[in-house]
A = this chain, B = another copy of it.
């Protein structure tokens, strides 16, 4: 054993060490590899997918590496502070052992241990005596257990582990695939420009109405110029949405087929748009270098032409800067995107209902639940729900198929929990996004809390990491409050949880006690959640009979 990290995603993995996602994607096709990074980002997804397991030196139990690895069912050890990664030199050192790219390591995502060399492993299955035991557990529990799954392969995996539906499908994870990303990027570069010019057009039109004939002549000219300027970004925006529609539709078809008869909760686009664009820091450095080269070229010859690459990258950097945010976690994301760019929600709703109608026609039972993220005020939900219902009616009427569906919301912004009574007037279900709810209730960024959270737990300022086990006094109080207010406003409101806490036994017990209907967690944690739900039910009954 050479290091110890956090047990971020269960299971053991053996492979050769690789330090970069591209190399991992390449080598992963031919041999078993472990991707080792300081931390992972959305750019690393293809490398993580190609790896047997993931090891990071920074980040907590809800860091990008941990969440994505759990979703993929890849074993992961994260925040292994003793691992010093030198990715330029393609090596890491841990406990004075130097591990070079290509060396074998073994990680145990259930304990957080990192071992040098190849340690023998056995495959995980819910079968035989374990299967029988899990059936006994299922007979006792009241809580349903769903899985967080974004693609059909994960959904099938989740079913094999006993998931009774999908509690969270993150549609944006579909956007990162190689065949979609170019359309997503085109959409993102075009949409804000189209919107900005459209706003100017609207203002000019309003001005035109109250203008006198002489002014109108000037305004009319300006209006025509603006409309000409608007044409290109509007076309790019529409075309990229049209390209994405059939791709998303095909994803949803796969999910619905895998979940025949079980509900599938689909969340509309959530992350800030800049997550899909090249990294700002890299662009800044590249543009600085190209500008310096060009300055030198100009000094040598006054006829020097500005390189096309510089012009292109300057344009891209400008867009990236426009989308840059100081606190992306608190920025333009979730339903805020769907409200400012309703065309995106509309495309996603269309893809969902077209897929649902197609699959329903084949005799499969489809139960879509459309979930609006990051709602803080009931009006945000009302805006998006109206849009989704309009598209649903349209598609079902055209296809001549009726599909029962629900429109609900994530409860992940403290304000939504506080005003849950109003929110429930519009929401047909609540799903507590306890990752974000914990972030906002504590004011902790899970990506940054590694700087103080371990010390907080070590010094007992906090009893446990609240991203691993739900904070019952604070976040739990908001959950209880929201359930009570929500059900008071709408009898029988369906309530679940889809944060990572859905797979943590202590948190599952809380969900049982708080009278939630279901928990949803990563596919590989489904058996744990099933057992924890049974434990909670047994404990609840024992406590009730003690009282008698």
Contact = CB atoms under 8 A, between A and B. Distances in A.
Interface of A: 280-281, 284-289, 292, 325-332, 336, 339-340, 374, 376-377, 379-380, 383, 412-415, 418-419, 422, 436, 439-445, 447-449, 451-452, 455-456, 459-462, 471, 473-475, 477-478
A327 B286 CA distance: 24
A447 B331 CA distance: 9
Contact of A474 (B292, B329, B419): B419
Contacts of A414: 414, 440-441, 443, 474, 478
Given A292-B292, A418-B477, A442-B376, A452 B330 contact: no
Given A443-B330, A444-B330, A461 B380 contact: yes
Copies of this subunit: 2
Contact of A327 (B280, B380, B412, B445): B445
Contacts of A330: 327, 329-330, 439, 443-445, 448-449
B376 A443 contact: yes
Contact of A340 (B281, B328, B455): B455
27 contacts: A280-B281, A284-B284, A284-B288, A288-B288, A288-B289, A325-B445, A326-B445, A327-B330, A327-B445, A329-B445, A330-B330, A330-B439, A330-B443, A331-B451, A332-B452, A339-B456, A339-B461, A374-B443, A376-B441, A383-B461, A412-B443, A413-B441, A413-B442, A414-B478, A415-B443, A418-B477, A418-B478
A379 B340 contact: no
Contacts of A379: 460-462
> Which of A292, A336, A383, A462 is the most central at the interface, judged by chain B CB atoms within 10 Å of its CB?
A336
B473 A422 contact: yes
A340 B284 CA distance: 33
A471 B377 CA distance: 11
A325 to B, nearest CB: 4
Contacts of A422: 473
Contacts of A292: 289, 292
A442 B380 CA distance: 12
Contacts of A383: 459, 461
A416 B473 CA distance: 11
Contacts of A327: 327-330, 445, 447-448
B473 A419 contact: yes
Contacts of A461: 339, 377, 379-380, 383
Given A284-B284, A376-B443, A460-B379, A326 B328 contact: yes
B451 A332 contact: yes
> Which of A325, A328, A414, A475 is the most central at the interface, judged by chain B CB atoms within 10 Å of its CB?
A414
